[in-house]
């Protein structure tokens, strides 16, 4: 049958798909726009499921906040090009807004939520995969509520931080969010460090002192001194403040009469093993295959 250019244009506007895909869908559905849109959605979601096993280590972080509550999300895709696209960035921000608006505390609940829309976040994600052609995943989500001041900071769309204070003010909270983004502490203070980590570090430091000709009590003091230095390096309060290295974060907090009750730092792709393409190996394999009789 004859498919008009206007019907193809309408379907493209509804689905965001390419011209040839739209024309093919219209031919299959005898020119029925609604049926063609539904067919494209079904085939698109099927394609999205096939991409589930691919590695998505690029992406963006997004933050939405209201008063003393903030939501931080990490959304991943396969390439930096897609991560910078307007559609991908808009989706990430929409996910963060949904997380803030909905009464959800888990990633699973967030993906299932609609926040007043017609489709769930997960269905929107899969539709975007069908449109863009890359794996897209909502990897992490957290909602933080501060008893006092709340600070948020995003660095270049790849690192996002939220800091919740007891006491203090917004300026201090934001400064500390920037500090967390820059220095990446593992814990708030020594009380948060698991005993097994301390024991392991103490064991390593003790091993390093072997061969030093000093009394056992001196060795023990050396080990504990180095352990304190190690704790200062991995805890937020022990670190030199990034905007004033002569002052520790602990001292800064005491001056403000404030306390950090929680911080969260997301960095895009952290912990995801990226595939390393061996182009030379691939070329050589093809050459060898061609050489075989």
What are the structural domains, with CATH classification, of the chain?
Answer: 5-52 (1.10.8.10), 54-145 (3.30.479.20)
What pLDDT, on a 0 to 100 scale, did the predictor assign at position 6?
Answer: 82
What pLDDT, on a 0 to 100 scale, did the predictor assign at position 44?
Answer: 59
The number of helices, as runs of H, and strands, as runs of E, in the chain is 12, 8
d(CA 170, CA 174): 6
What is the signed CA dihedral for 155, 170, 263, 112, rounded to 10 degrees? -80
Q: Which residues of the chain have pLDDT under 50?
A: 45-49
Backbone angles phi, psi at 200, to 5 degrees: -65, -45
What pLDDT, on a 0 to 100 scale, did the predictor assign at position 145?
Answer: 97
What pLDDT, on a 0 to 100 scale, did the predictor assign at position 81?
Answer: 93
Residue 64: CB atoms within 10 A of its CB come to 20
Reading the block at residue 55, the tokens are: 């590695």
d(CA 26, CA 33): 7
Q: Tens digit of pLDDT for each residue in 36-45?
A: 877 766 665 4
Residue 260: CB atoms within 10 A of its CB come to 25
What pLDDT, on a 0 to 100 scale, did the predictor assign at position 48?
Answer: 47
For residue 140, which of 88, 95, 97, 85 has the smallest C-alpha distance?
95
Interior CA angle at 51 toward 47 and 55, to 5°?
Answer: 165
274, 201 in Cβ contact below 8 A? no
d(CA 32, CA 3): 10
What pLDDT, on a 0 to 100 scale, did the predictor assign at position 106?
Answer: 92
Tell me the Ramachandran region of residue 31: left when phi exceeds 0, alpha when psi lies from -120 to 50, beta otherwise: left
Q: Tens digit of pLDDT for each residue in 230-285?
A: 999 999 999 999 999 999 999 999 999 999 999 999 999 998 876 555 555 555 66
Q: Kindly state the helix (H) or strand (E) to which residue 232 belongs, with its residue range.
A: helix 216-234
pTM: 0.75
173, 86 in Cβ contact below 8 A? no
144, 162 in Cβ contact below 8 A? yes
What pLDDT, on a 0 to 100 scale, did the predictor assign at position 10?
Answer: 79
What pLDDT, on a 0 to 100 scale, did the predictor assign at position 42?
Answer: 63
């Amino acid at each position: 049958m004859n498919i008009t250019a206007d019907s193809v244009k309408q379907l493209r506007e509804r689905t965001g798909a390419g011209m040839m895909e739209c024309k093919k869908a219209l031919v299959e559905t005898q020119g029925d726009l609604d049926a063609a849109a539904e067919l494209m959605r079904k085939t698109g979601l099927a394609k999205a499921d096939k991409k589930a096993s691919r590695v998505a280590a690029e992406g963006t972080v997004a933050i939405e906040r209201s008063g003393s509550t903030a939501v931080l999300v990490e959304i991943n895709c396969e390439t930096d090009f897609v991560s910078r696209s307007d559609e991908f960035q808009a989706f990430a921000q929409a996910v963060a807004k949904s997380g803030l608006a909905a009464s959800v505390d888990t990633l699973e609940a967030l993906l299932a939520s609609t926040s007043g829309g017609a489709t769930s976040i997960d269905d929107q994600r899969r539709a975007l995969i069908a449109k863009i052609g890359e794996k897209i995943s909502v990897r992490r989500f957290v909602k933080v509520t501060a008893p006092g001041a709340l600070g948020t900071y995003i660095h270049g769309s790849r690192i996002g931080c939220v800091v919740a204070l007891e006491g203090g003010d917004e300026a201090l909270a934001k400064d500390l969010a920037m500090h967390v983004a820059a220095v990446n502490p593992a814990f708030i203070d020594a009380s948060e460090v698991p005993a097994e980590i301390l024991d392991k570090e103490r064991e390593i430091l003790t091993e390093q002192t072997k061969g030093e000709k000093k009394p056992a009590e001196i060795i023990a003091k050396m080990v504990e001194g180095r352990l304190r230095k190690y704790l200062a390096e991995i805890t937020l309060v022990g670190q030199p403040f990034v905007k004033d290295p002569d002052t520790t974060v602990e001292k800064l907090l005491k001056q403000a009469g404030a306390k950090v009750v929680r911080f969260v730092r997301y960095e895009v792709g952290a912990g995801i093993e990226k595939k390393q393409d061996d182009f030379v190996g691939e070329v050589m394999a093809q050459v060898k295959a061609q050489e075989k009789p």
